[in-house]
A and B are shown apart, each in its own frame.
Chain A
Amino acid sequence: MSTRTSRFYFAVSWRNLWRHRRRTLITAAAMGLGIAMCMASIALQDGMYARLFDVMVTGSLGHVQLHHPDYPAKKRAHDTLPSSVFEPIQQLEGVEQVAPRLYNFALAAGTESSAGAQLVGVSPGQEAGITGIDGKVEDGTWLADKAGLQAVVGVDLADELDLTPGSELVLVGQDAYGGMANDLFTVVGIVRTGQTALDRTGVWVHLTDLQTFTAMDDRVHEVLVVGHDVEGAHALKDAVAQLPSSAEALVRSWDEANPQAAQMMGMQDVGAFIMLGIVLSVAALGVLNTMLMSVFERVREFGVLRAIGLAPRQLMVLVVTESMLLATVAAVMGLTMGGLLDAWLVTHGIEFSVDGGKGLTYAGVTLDPVMKGMVRPQGIVITVVTVYLVTLLAAVWPAIRAARLEPVEAMRET
């Protein structure tokens, strides 16, 4: 089609739309409202997913993990890896951070009460480098680089045991040989990770301190590896797995380690598309009716166009062009309204707190009591594409009707 013809179509269609300004505005506004609502919903949803991702993947899964082959299934204390897996990975190209962990359970006793605690032995600098946990310390500081019987406690556990920075903490547990292990630690910081379980039971100590406590020198349960970005996780996993030092270990990427999390993330765009599709289809029925009536209003006009030589197909193109222009108006209105809503959601968010101001828990993650939105380019793209798609579908029937008109009959219509 030459540019002159397409300019003709655009000009005629555009003018047709504005001949009936109120009607066009109402139709576009209805769709625009649907778009705005979906955009807000998607932004909130994406905000939640971003939080889930951040806490789960960044905070706990890393990009690649190493374990003793039997550890993930049963979590037995003696299924460990030697510290020697560590160095070679650090030297690997594409690796940004490597962090080891040792886990144990102990009874944590404050002055008045005690509770079961999940001990996590870490290398402070590297752990902070991967999970940013040092930034999540609310009171006090993160662990010092050198071992010194320091402890950082999860916010809810600290609350329960009445601990503050400077408090003494007694840990009583079992060592690798089945004997009693106990030690006195000093609390240096209180942390809020966002992982519900850890906030309620977690105690972080220096790896060396925990290895001594449990008589498991030079062993770790878990090694987390982080590369440049999460998309490169699989390639990174292959590289790590190929190292001779990793031969005995089970090497997995984060989605292999937690398929449920991966599944949830994967559904993000599908969910958005489905919601948009449904809401916009409901709005599109209004578009369908309006367009059908509009075609019938112009029966005589179309008859004249056909009489002067326009082919049926070209009338179809005219109607479809009009619908696409309408979709554009709707998209502009919707993106503007939705954009304002999104901006508000990103900066202010909506309060979703329960039980006196706490955040909701979902899938082991404690969400922010004020849910903030997040805008992703994919979300906008899906929205715009769906608007055009749905409008196009609605235009099919009117377009065919327009094409089927016979010139003489059409002009005879009074």
Chain B
Amino acid sequence: MATVGLMRIAARNLRKNLRRTLITAAAIAGGLSLLIWSDNLQSGSYQALIQTGVSMMAGHVVVQAEGYQADPDMHLLVNDEDTVSKAVHTVVPDARVASRVLVQGLLQSPRNTSGVALVGIEPEAESTVSDWHTKLVDGSEWLDPADNKGVLLGAKLAESLEVEVGDKVVLMVQGKDEVVNRLFRVRGLIRTGTDDIDGFMGLTTLEAAQAALEQPDSATMVTVHVDNPDDVPQVQAAVAGAMADRPVEVLPWQQALPEMYEFIQLDRQSGRMMFFVIAIIVSMGVLNTVLMSVMERVREFGVMLALGTRPGQVFRVILFEGVLLGFFATGLGLAIGLAATWPGHVDGIDFAAMMGEQVEVAGVPMNALIYPQFNWPGTIGSCLLAWLMTVLSTLWPAWHAARLEPVQAMRQT
């Protein structure tokens, strides 16, 4: 009963000084919505990065030769690729599996030579896990699985070698014992927009790449792709179990792409630090405002105490003000933060002015057009923290008010 009376006083006080309440709420809501928006922006950029990295450069789970991650060697391959691939399919029937062979060498045309990173892929499987097949330049065709002499070249690479669709190129690469030359015919060009890829990458069939390395039925990596990233731990465990007898390492994407993964962790952490600092700044503003409002009401609190209200009850009045303000401001900040995320979520935000069309971050190409994603756990956490800090900001003023001596308090001017 008494509590209702106290809450009533708290609520009325907030309403009586409406402008002050609104400005304080605006500060809290402003800080919160800023944090929600930038958290969503960060999430969007991480998602894009992970999506690109996992689909094009690794998999959600990757099977590699043991020791490959520590010391990548072109000839360190997974043997019995076909058996391994089938075993993986059996253990995780819902996942998409694609094997790849990485060949580093030289590509020669009559007019020029260039370094090349040639990736041997399974054309059908690959098109279910990555979007290479959507980057074909007009007039190009996707690889035919039976075509072991065909190659797709990055558009800039083709320009530099001065070759077009239908021309011949020679791959020079270190085989098992000596340098090997292999003839290929250009079937098409690929344009991704990243100079590194367009200038140095080529795609061919798995068999062709295996032949270039003189290691049939092998793969640099057997990659596993799932629809729900949360399943990765189970999938990794399942595949690792199936591979128990083989000299391979079964890695989740976080370990297969450590640079990208750790970049995301670091970036998230620095985001959280900024978050705390801003929360402290806002809290100080709230503290000041509540302190001043308590000072204004010292006589009133004195009367309440004189009448027999206990100090703990006076404490609670001010605490309630913080609680109510917290709810209001948090709700407002949440609404604004989500509303601000929406347009970007739909249309994307273009950061090209700051970083160019595409930038390579931690080894993975990132597009300047970023789509913020709704990071609900982060948003809820931010809201809770905002509410909590608002309430905490009222503790000192509340304590101060509770310790007032009624007689002196009432004598204040």
The distance in angstroms between the C-alpha atoms of A31 and B281, with both chains bound, is: 7
Q: Which residue of the partner chain A has the closest CB to B266?
A: A352
- Contact between A360 and B259, CB atoms less than 8 A apart: yes
Does any Cβ of A come within 8 Å of B14's Cβ?
A: no
Does any Cβ of A come within 8 Å of B172's Cβ?
A: yes
Main SS class of interface, B: helix
- Contact between B112 and A282, CB atoms less than 8 A apart: no
- Contact between B284 and A362, CB atoms less than 8 A apart: no
A354 touching B258 in the complex, CB below 8 Å, given contacts A27-B288, A113-B74, A173-B106: yes
Does any Cβ of B come within 8 Å of A317's Cβ?
A: no
- Contact between A26 and B354, CB atoms less than 8 A apart: no
Q: Chain B's nearest CB lies how many Å from the CB of A372? A: 15
Chain B hits for A354, CB < 8 A: 258-259, 261-263, 266, 362
Q: Chain B's nearest CB lies how many Å from the CB of A198? A: 12
- Contact between B31 and A74, CB atoms less than 8 A apart: no
Chain A hits for B159, CB < 8 A: 73-76
The distance in angstroms between the C-alpha atoms of A259 and B292, with both chains bound, is: 54
Does any Cβ of A come within 8 Å of B289's Cβ?
A: yes
The distance in angstroms between the C-alpha atoms of A30 and B283, with both chains bound, is: 9
Q: Which residue of the partner chain B has the closest CB to A29?
A: B284
The distance in angstroms between the C-alpha atoms of A33 and B279, with both chains bound, is: 11
Does any Cβ of A come within 8 Å of B360's Cβ?
A: yes
- Contact between B20 and A289, CB atoms less than 8 A apart: yes
A37 touching B106 in the complex, CB below 8 Å, given contacts A114-B174, A118-B115, A289-B27: no
Chain A hits for B284, CB < 8 A: 26-27, 29-30, 33, 286
Contact of B162 among A76, A278, A288 (CB under 8 A): A76
Does any Cβ of B come within 8 Å of A178's Cβ?
A: yes
Q: Chain A's nearest CB lies how many Å from the CB of B20? A: 6
Does any Cβ of A come within 8 Å of B361's Cβ?
A: yes
- Contact between B360 and A362, CB atoms less than 8 A apart: yes
Interface string of A252-293 (1 = CB under 8 A from B): 000000001001100100110000001101110111111011
The distance in angstroms between the C-alpha atoms of A73 and B198, with both chains bound, is: 13
Does any Cβ of B come within 8 Å of A343's Cβ?
A: no
Interface string of A18-35 (1 = CB under 8 A from B): 000011001101110110
- Contact between A360 and B362, CB atoms less than 8 A apart: yes
- Contact between A33 and B281, CB atoms less than 8 A apart: yes
- Contact between A113 and B106, CB atoms less than 8 A apart: no
A289 touching B108 in the complex, CB below 8 Å, given contacts A23-B292, A37-B274, A116-B115: no
Does any Cβ of B come within 8 Å of A123's Cβ?
A: no
Chain A hits for B360, CB < 8 A: 361-364
- Contact between A290 and B286, CB atoms less than 8 A apart: no
Q: Chain B's nearest CB lies how many Å from the CB of A264? A: 6
A76 touching B106 in the complex, CB below 8 Å, given contacts A283-B281, A354-B259: no
Chain B hits for A267, CB < 8 A: 353-355
Q: Which residue of the partner chain B has the closest CB to A36?
A: B277
Does any Cβ of A come within 8 Å of B225's Cβ?
A: no
Contact of A105 among B113, B293, B353 (CB under 8 A): B113
Does any Cβ of B come within 8 Å of A370's Cβ?
A: no
A282 touching B31 in the complex, CB below 8 Å, given contacts A33-B280, A293-B289: yes
Interface string of B81-117 (1 = CB under 8 A from A): 0000000000000000000000011101011111111
Q: Chain B's nearest CB lies how many Å from the CB of A383? A: 15
The distance in angstroms between the C-alpha atoms of A29 and B212, with both chains bound, is: 66
A115 touching B112 in the complex, CB below 8 Å, given contacts A26-B284, A30-B285, A290-B292: no
Interface string of B111-141 (1 = CB under 8 A from A): 1111111000000000000000000000000
Chain A hits for B361, CB < 8 A: 361-363
The distance in angstroms between the C-alpha atoms of A364 and B194, with both chains bound, is: 11
Does any Cβ of A come within 8 Å of B252's Cβ?
A: no
A-B contact pairs, 14 of them (CB 8 A): A23-B292, A41-B274, A73-B159, A74-B159, A113-B74, A113-B174, A267-B354, A282-B31, A285-B27, A286-B286, A289-B289, A293-B289, A354-B263, A362-B361
Please provide the 5 A-B residue pairs with the shortest distance between their CB atoms, ordered closest to farther.
A286-B285, A116-B115, A285-B27, A260-B356, A30-B284
